[in-house]
Structure 1
């Protein structure tokens, strides 16, 4: 075992002393930057220790959200308090959480049966999160009402990248960006108009505790199947928002993976979701508009100006075609 592994095991054992736990076994599962996971056994129970990449105030929000969802009947891992009764453990200026271990498997969202259960799990998660009131000293995360500003911000960043690319006309990747950006900006403009003239602001005009919490990274890897139930894990990024936010991400990922804009497929996913949480016509309207915005083009090109060779011209061309085809299909649906 190398020194780094020994250091991680030593750190895990020291933190577990704050829980009055001397584990029978301890191993490192994952370490990327600050975020680290350990798997341990203690008194015939398997647990998961996690080092967070969050401030204490941010952790207060997400950790207490998870406790609330579980106590409200939601399917999320249990969080264990330390020996002092605190759910967040501070050690050497770092933050740690101890979770129950999920013995199941990752759900495969390409499999229709798994997709059905995953979407039911997502809607259950949304419903069970309503009513959460965070501790007063936590850093509250909310995206309610922010979409129009986010759309404008992404559009303006893409326009700035265009200006940078124009300055280097000999670079093939920059040239491709300049060639394809104008139709994308037009999609931005039309989507911004649509969201500003939709029921979006009315939907967001609610008290935070009446809003659901969105996971923001829901998908394969963060939804586990255990004993026939879908368990949602990794709640670090939860935020108050409309359920459409999580739905747009999961539907969009499938669209781009399979290059498929089928309205029937989208409606099938929504039917699975609505098993536990019926969406209003206004909810569906803003979901359609959010799906129309060129999020995936922006996601590809947002760092192009920092590294001209980070994305090749073929990828820019392909994602531009994807966004334009997606927009025209969804426009008919809307």
Structure 2
């Protein structure tokens, strides 16, 4: 159990109300409303995240969930071996990914964040997180693991609905994975990684609707930088695009709106489109769902898994049409 008096002592606050809210705690304190969050990683990684947010603020990107420091000047409280962070409680609503205007605002915000991320030197005692140069290896490994999961099913005496669906669909996604890897290898991926290394920029790595908070005075906050790391910006863009597009039947107009809005703030180079296309093509969602299922990463019910797999498979034709249209729209060779 979290010891509230330890939180009060270390952050020098008095808690009047505490309520659990979507994986965090809402606090009403003598110093205002706060968000308390338990962190499931170590202090070195947390210092990287803290430094990244402070860097954005220093560069004019203020709309983040900035950490309050404890009485020792550290951005956390240590309670029974657990780390807790304290930040301002942000009022507002989650971004609606079916609303093209809100999606455009999010795309512009992402571009501003990427611009402000440049020149980040992490604090000395922090742990540098980076995925630069890793994606060809990750794509290859994940595509191969689709076969390993097929072997897991083959060894089962009784196959359930998820197993059968997986066996029926896996070859298609394996091929798409291989094609995405080939496209990435043929692109200027490594040169773009070197550029990101030189620029010392970073990505959010989880830029999705519940981490984009809009409110009525037109300000847009980006929260939850737990996964941020050195990375080429096209990863963030593709991840964001996929999360939007799966909700709008892979509508090319949404993709164009995202890129137009992003480019209005920070223009993508011609060679970045091929890397973006490779990311969009890679069957990350299919791999991730199967991986979660066969390696017990999430304890969802059997039906939830089967329904999620079904919905990914059912959008296959729209997904393929989108890829073809995107390729011709942006003249990707």
Q: TM (normalized to structure 2)?
A: 0.86
Match of 1:118 among 91, 101, 106: 106
- The equivalent residue for 1:71 is 58
* Partners of 1:261 and 1:329 within 8 A in 2: no
* Partners of 1:133 and 1:209 within 8 A in 2: no
* Partners of 2:52 and 2:117 within 8 A in 1: yes
Match of 1:288 among 242, 254, 277: 277
Q: Using a 3 Å threshold, how does the CA distance of structure 1 residues 241 and 68 change in structure 2: closer, same or farther? A: same
- The equivalent residue for 2:12 is 20
Q: Using a 3 Å threshold, how does the CA distance of structure 1 residues 243 and 187 change in structure 2: closer, same or farther? A: same
Q: How far, CA to CA, are the matches of 2:315 and 2:290 in structure 1?
A: 10
* Partners of 1:81 and 1:87 within 8 A in 2: yes
Q: How far, CA to CA, are the matches of 2:95 and 2:319 in structure 1?
A: 28
SS class of match (2:87)? strand
SS class of match (1:218)? coil
Match of 1:53 among 32, 40, 51: 40
- The equivalent residue for 2:314 is 318
CA shift, 1:17, in A, is 1.3
Residue 108 of structure 1 pairs with residue 86 of structure 2: no
Instruction: List per-residue Cα deviations over 1:192-235 (Å, max 9, x = no partner).
Output: 11111111111001363614221111122111124311111111
CA shift, 1:94, in A, is 1.7
CA shift, 1:274, in A, is 2.0
Q: How far, CA to CA, are the matches of 1:170 and 1:327 in structure 2?
A: 36
Q: How far, CA to CA, are the matches of 1:145 and 1:213 in structure 2?
A: 14
* Partners of 2:13 and 2:29 within 8 A in 1: no
- The equivalent residue for 1:3 is none
Match of 2:237 among 243, 247, 252: 247
Instruction: List per-residue Cα deviations over 1:83-142 (Å, max 9, x = no partner).
Output: 222223323222122212223332223222222221111111111111111122212111
Q: How far, CA to CA, are the matches of 1:21 and 1:114 in structure 2?
A: 36
Q: Using a 3 Å threshold, how does the CA distance of structure 1 residues 317 and 81 change in structure 2: closer, same or farther? A: closer
CA shift, 1:253, in A, is 1.6
* Partners of 1:216 and 1:238 within 8 A in 2: yes
Q: TM (normalized to structure 1)?
A: 0.86
* Partners of 2:133 and 2:190 within 8 A in 1: yes
**RMSD, matched Cα:** 2.5
CA shift, 1:177, in A, is 2.1
Q: How far, CA to CA, are the matches of 1:316 and 1:179 in structure 2?
A: 13
- The equivalent residue for 1:4 is none
SS class of match (2:208)? coil
Q: How far, CA to CA, are the matches of 1:80 and 1:317 in structure 2?
A: 44
Residue 272 of structure 1 pairs with residue 268 of structure 2: no
Match of 1:193 among 165, 182, 186: 182
* Partners of 1:304 and 1:311 within 8 A in 2: no
Q: How far, CA to CA, are the matches of 1:15 and 1:163 in structure 2?
A: 49
Q: Using a 3 Å threshold, how does the CA distance of structure 1 residues 78 and 188 change in structure 2: closer, same or farther? A: closer
